Structure 1
């Protein structure tokens, strides 16, 4: 399928992903501050992150989510940039890009409210499948 859409359109799905990354930075900082003020966490932990201090579960979950925000979404962001540079923006990959964003938002909010893997598995797996389809589509486009 020939690309008939403006290439810039594929860059827009990146912005909500970046927004979540930045938003969660503030959520993470707020949770750490709250734990320090309530004496659940020693403020020295921020400087050294030592093993002697047990980290509250909500802080650990928030830190893991923060790390995850810089893992799978990076593959998506790189795809969007490659699609833009190669001018491979179609209705299909643009729709899939926005579906990916919705799946990551779903995953983020599920993970924030319920850290059980069984609850967040579906949006995570579907988002990985979407990125796989996007990369296969780009690969096929580049082979032509």
Structure 2
């Protein structure tokens, strides 16, 4: 079994960035589809999205917004683990688990959109993220003591 390197924590972060760009790319496709079907006009997007925007188009934008909210804390946790050299197998497993759950959440949201299934993936990802932060407490306190 090979030893874990600190840089391995950047791979799940990079994967989540990839997912974010994939979801972002869905927005114009879905909006243009809605426009070509005559369901929306440019005016429907002047202040965000009007009530006329069909669900299939609105979901991509909403999922993209989800990927810009709590995942910011994930990116920061990954960065701190890397900088504090606290990446180990448990942290790496938590990071990949978080990303897999976010991929699952997006897949559910953008396809059949079952709210309970989506909630389960979302809630589990939040617990996993909290675990990543739990394992940052000791390294952060160690650095804080050194600086005081």
Q: Shared fold (TM-score greater than 0.5)?
A: yes
Paired with 2:137 and 2:87, the residues of 1 have a C-alpha distance of 13
Paired with 2:36 and 2:105, the residues of 1 have a C-alpha distance of 29
Matched residue, 2:60: 62
8 Å CA contact retained: 1:10, 1:80: yes
- Which residues in structure 2 correspond to 1:89-104 (within 5 Å)? 89-104=87-102
- Which residues in structure 2 correspond to 1:1-144 (within 5 Å)? 5-46=4-45, 48-49=46-47, 54-144=52-142
Poorly superposed stretches of 4+, deviation over 4 Å = 50-53
CA-to-aligned-CA distance 1:50-104 (integer Å, 9 cap, x gap): 7766221222222211110101211111100111111111111011111111111
Structure 2 gaps, min length 5: 143-148
Normalising by structure 2, we get a TM-score of: 0.86
3-state SS of 1:130 partner: helix
Paired with 2:84 and 2:103, the residues of 1 have a C-alpha distance of 27
Normalising by structure 1, we get a TM-score of: 0.88
Paired with 1:90 and 1:73, the residues of 2 have a C-alpha distance of 20
Larger RCO of the pair (alpha carbons < 8 Å, separation 6+)? 1
8 Å CA contact retained: 1:41, 1:53: no
8 Å CA contact retained: 1:42, 1:53: no
Paired with 1:141 and 1:53, the residues of 2 have a C-alpha distance of 48
Paired with 1:63 and 1:26, the residues of 2 have a C-alpha distance of 10
Paired with 2:48 and 2:14, the residues of 1 have a C-alpha distance of 35
Structure 1 gaps, min length 5: none
